[in-house]
Amino acid sequence: MRLLLYLNQRTLRAVIVFAFSIFCIIGFGHVEPAFGKDDGVTSIFSPLAQPAQEIKETSLLVLAVCTVIFIVVAGLLVYALIRFRHRAGDEASEPPQVYGSNQIELAWTVLPVLIVFVLILVTSRTIANIQNRKPPQGTVHATIVGHQWWWEIRYPELGIVTANELHVPASDETGSRPTFLKLQSADVAHSFWVPQLAGKTDLIPNKENLMWIEPTKPGTYLGNCAEYCGTQHARMLIRVVVHTPDEFDHWVRDQQQATSVATNAAEGRKAFFANSCVNCHTIRGTSAQGKFGPDLTHLMSRETLAAGAAPNTTDNLRLWLRDPQRIKLGCLMPNMQLTDQEVDQMVAYLQTLK
């Protein structure tokens, strides 16, 4: 009786843990970002691009096979537990002892081997399809460098450098325009993951990884760094903005312009260049050529600050300059001890960087 009670408690606990895990997997897969007007979700179950679609199809096949195996094994287990349970009057007799059965042993060896073999073939085909893709005419090439804790994004052929928001064209009936990505890291291992577009790929120091994405639906897609990389790993968000081909070409032309010399924020400009901001940040067309932090040439074209940690608003920009640690504790931008006046002037200058 006591054993039964103990078993029941354990079973109950197991059921609760199992139910909670399922809730987490389904529930958290659809959690909206902390802020933003985005329609994007971070779910692998609603892919809107290749190769995410192909990966999902393979996953569903694997999931289906595993579900069938689970139902058969759990069903047999439950059947045996009930059918051969201990009954009153069983005490003295021992059940018949059976040693070996060629049929059963063959069955439970050959069947799993076949199942594993099929899964290996299907998975290999998917991996080969994805990895062996050659960039077609019209491909956009970008290099993404992981930093603690932000993403540097370069388009070497287009002469564009930006951060945290990757802009790509969508493929449509007029043609295929995938984006091929070279992934690198400036410090530790990171992982690029935008669930609706593709699987995860790591960014490893001293190694270059490759991946590609080919979305067909314009919109904003959200992703995270998926490899623990230090204090602010959780606030290393990435957005991929997918444009129609025309919009994308327009975006490229905007980004290629050097910043226009601001006439209305001379004080702020002076403050920016008098402080050590220039050692870490680049503003194209000026003497600011630092490489350690994000390129600020078109800062105001970005929706967020600090890799998605806060929306890019005047108030947040002010807070960020006053003390970056208030928005992103542990981030590598120091508190420059600016006065309120300097902060206001510098924000006015930064807001000219459109």
In the complex, minimum distance from the CB of residue 25 to ligand CUA, in angstroms, rounded to a whole number: 21
The one-character DSSP state at 234 is G
Residue type, 39: D
* Contact region with ligand CUA (CB under 6 A), list: 20-28, 80-88, 193-201, 225-233: 225-233
Phi-psi region of 320 (alpha: psi -120 to 50; beta: other; left: phi over 0): alpha
Q: CB-based contacts of 193: which residues, under 8 Å, 6+ apart? A: 199, 200, 201, 223, 224, 225, 226
Alpha-carbon gap, residue 91 to 50, rounded angstroms? 62
In the complex, minimum distance from the CB of residue 29 to ligand CUA, in angstroms, rounded to a whole number: 19
Which of 146, 195 has the CB closer to ligand CUA?
A: 146
In the complex, minimum distance from the CB of residue 219 to ligand CUA, in angstroms, rounded to a whole number: 24
Q: Residue 117 CA to chain centroid, in angstroms?
A: 30
Binder to ligand CUA among 198, 229, 277, 310 (CB under 6 A)? 229
Dihedral angle of Cα 261, 264, 266, 267, to the nearest 10 degrees? -150
In the complex, minimum distance from the CB of residue 320 to ligand CUA, in angstroms, rounded to a whole number: 19
In the complex, minimum distance from the CB of residue 193 to ligand CUA, in angstroms, rounded to a whole number: 10
* Contact region with ligand CUA (CB under 6 A), list: 9-17, 224-232, 249-257, 340-348: 224-232
Half-sphere exposure of 26 (CA within 13 A, CB side): 5
* Binding-residue pattern over the window 144 to 183 for ligand CUA, x denoting contact by CB under 6 A: --x--x----------------------------------
Which of 126, 224 has the CB closer to ligand CUA?
A: 224
Q: Which two tokens stand for residue 74?
A: 């759990």
In the complex, minimum distance from the CB of residue 145 to ligand CUA, in angstroms, rounded to a whole number: 11
Binder to ligand CUA among 54, 152, 165, 227 (CB under 6 A)? 227
* Binding-residue pattern over the window 179 to 218 for ligand CUA, x denoting contact by CB under 6 A: -----------x----------------------------
Binding residues for ligand CUA restricted to 120-149, rule: CB under 6 A: 146, 149
H-type helices in 84-150, by residue range?
A: 102-131
* Binding-residue pattern over the window 70 to 89 for ligand CUA, x denoting contact by CB under 6 A: --------------------
Which of 54, 227 has the CB closer to ligand CUA?
A: 227
Which of 284, 328 has the CB closer to ligand CUA?
A: 328
Residue type, 251: W
Q: Judged by CB under 6 A, does residue 55 bind ligand CUA?
A: no
Which of 230, 245 has the CB closer to ligand CUA?
A: 230
The one-character DSSP state at 94 is P
Q: Which two tokens stand for residue 105?
A: 């042993």
In the complex, minimum distance from the CB of residue 158 to ligand CUA, in angstroms, rounded to a whole number: 25
Alpha-carbon gap, residue 150 to 330, rounded angstroms? 13
Alpha-carbon gap, residue 171 to 313, rounded angstroms? 32
Dihedral angle of Cα 54, 58, 61, 63, to the nearest 10 degrees? -120
In the complex, minimum distance from the CB of residue 207 to ligand CUA, in angstroms, rounded to a whole number: 15
Closest of 123, 93, 245 to residue 176, by C-alpha: 245
Q: Which two tokens stand for residue 249?
A: 């070409």
In the complex, minimum distance from the CB of residue 189 to ligand CUA, in angstroms, rounded to a whole number: 8
Closest of 18, 308, 41 to residue 149, by C-alpha: 308
Contact positions vs ligand CUA (CB under 6 A): 146, 149, 190, 225, 227-229, 233, 236
